[in-house]
Amino acid sequence: MEQSFSSARIYSIKKDILDCGRIVCEQEGSGLCFTCGSVVCTPKEQEAIIRQSKTGVKLYQKFMNQKSELDNRKENSISNDEKLKSALEHRDKLLEYDRTVEKRTKVIDDENDYFQIDSKWLDEKERKILKKKKEELDEIMYNRQKKNFTFDFAGRKIVEEKPNFNIDVDDLLKSDTSIFECQDASTFDIPSDLRLVYQDDSNSNGYMQCSVKEENKRLNIRIQDKDLQEMSDDGYCLSLHQPYASLLVAGIKGHEGRVWYTSYRGRLWIHSAGKVPTKQDIEELENMYRHIRGNCEFPKTYPHGCLLGCVDLVDCLPQDEYKIQYPDGEIASPYVFICENAKELSIKFPMKGKHKIFKLDSNIHHAAKKTLLKKI
């Protein structure tokens, strides 16, 4: 007689199940194996079931009921496993979201690349930090005595290691970009109550013959006529993130939102910022304008860090006026640029953007205008 040492007690073995390898002792009694569902019974009980006696029929029905209960437990277990799997996937998704939140929410602003050390908006501490950093970079750049070289014996070449001059101003000053001012002060916006209406001539007491130099000064007087302003092209440019920039020069997006007002009217060149758009951002914006404009042809590519084309800036409306004139408008910013006559360049010119509206480099501006004329 074989024995089973179960819970420190000795029992006789009832059956050794071949399907799952489990050993069943007499104390467990007859029934279905809770592991594999095989029938466990004595030879006498098995003979009664085969003869279909009353005892055998009752025993068979008992086994079938146990099998039904076991199947139900397995189905519930599978359902619980699916819910557990779904919960674990959701947990992992939240953990991944929390882990990458800093990377996803980081603002890439081209304004960080342009600042003045002697800006009047910087306090004394920030001015000292930037000045010290500039001295360190100048020392590295102009010091010809200290140089690092990499000797590549396999490739038989010597490579000079150049220092990295990219400065993360946010990390340097631990502050926002509002402390930096634009390089070109002429692009500052002037409040409506301070806008120029006329220019007083200080030498109006008598006739004075104008020299050639004074004649040239007259050319710099601000244009007061709105129609003349809209006809002008002084090379002013606005930097936008993708995919907004390409949709604007393609004529799909006609309105652009900003938190600041501008009095400028006329041709406005559009530059795409350095941030690379994600596929999700492009699809979401295209779906939105597909719903607004209907089936329209979207750009095939969304290049970044280059001059894309131009539009005519015909108006800059506050949000309350914008809602009156364009009740179905999609822009919710405090000020809205109304753009028309979008033109896309056939050749994209790589360049860096600046804050707000800035003037293009004269060479890039001239080349862009020639490219537009060739396209026409």
Q: What is the model's pLDDT at position 332?
A: 86
Q: Report the b/e string of 48-84 with b at 16+ CB within 10 A.
A: bbeeeeeebeebbeebeebeeebeeeeeeeeeeeeee
Mean per-residue pLDDT, 250-266 = 88
Q: What is the model's pLDDT at position 136?
A: 78
Q: Inform me whether the pLDDT recorded for 365 exceeds 60.
A: yes
Q: Inform me whether the pLDDT recorded for 214 exceeds 60.
A: no
Q: From residue 133, how far is each of 116, 120, 157 by CA, in Å?
A: 13, 18, 33
Q: Inform me whether the pLDDT recorded for 205 exceeds 50.
A: no
Concatenated DSSP letters of 230-284: HH----EEEEE-TTHHHHHHTTS--EEEESS-----EEEEEEE-SPPPPHHHHHH
Q: Inform me whether the pLDDT recorded for 216 exceeds 60.
A: no
Q: Inform me whether the pLDDT recorded for 193 exceeds 50.
A: no
pLDDT in tens, 320-335: 898 989 888 888 888 9
pLDDT in tens, 93-128: 888 888 887 766 666 555 444 555 666 667 778 778
Backbone conformation region of residue 112, classed left if phi is above 0, alpha if psi is from -120 to 50, else beta? alpha
**Which has more confidence, 86 or 215?**
86
